[in-house]
Amino acid sequence: MKTLRLIIPFLCLAPLDFAQLTPDQKTSDFLQLVGLYAKNYGPYEEKRDVFKFDLYKIAPWVAEVQASRTDIDFYDICVRYVASLKDSHDEFTIQSDYDAWLHFNGDIYDGKFLIDFIDTGYLPPSTYGFNIGDQLMSMDGVAVADLLKQFVPYSVNGSSNPVSQARLAAATITE
């Protein structure tokens, strides 16, 4: 019975004991991703010649992977690698049930990020001092223009059209 009393507290803490991938695991996973493209990707020459992206030149990418501190940093590298192909039919996604939404949305209008929807059931107008049509200037101290640049790899499905790409990147700011 004493053994059971000692084990139960540790079992309760088990869900909190998530480990980050090791540098070797991240490198192996990244090389597997690269290998899939090396074997199956048809328009390699076009991407190399037109977009100046050689999917076989992986040394800088591997260095980034090995220097990544967290799994999220590693996954961001994978997203950027696949987005470098500039193909609207290729993207790197991770299955997750995590979801975050600020209960308002915006879009690009005349080159500015303007709020175009507010969930007033969650954000009552009497409490929050912004309205539809207001311009969002920054988020967490980062200018919206800088966020849009950071989120471009996550809007790869609009890669053939800069306007679509900016609008898809804008959608990720509040979601």
Q: What is the pLDDT of residues 52-96, one digit of tens each?
A: 999 999 999 999 999 999 999 999 999 999 988 888 788 888 888
Side-chain half-sphere of 82: how many Cα atoms within 13 Å? Answer: 22
Cα(129)–Cα(81) distance, rounded to whole angstroms?
40
Q: CB within 8 A of 100, min separation 6: which ones?
A: 175
Q: What is the pLDDT of residues 160-174, one digit of tens each?
A: 678 888 888 898 888
Q: What residue type is 37 in one-letter code?
A: Y
Least Cα distance to 37 among 91, 100, 96, 115 occurs for 91
Structure-token pair, residue 68 = 């990544």
Radius of gyration of the chain from Cα atoms? 21
Q: What residue type is 98 in one-letter code?
A: Y
**What residue has token string 């509040």?**
174
Asked if residue 165 lies in contact with residue 152, where contact means CB atoms within 8 angstroms, the answer is yes
Q: What is the pLDDT of residues 111-129, one digit of tens each?
A: 999 999 999 999 998 999 8
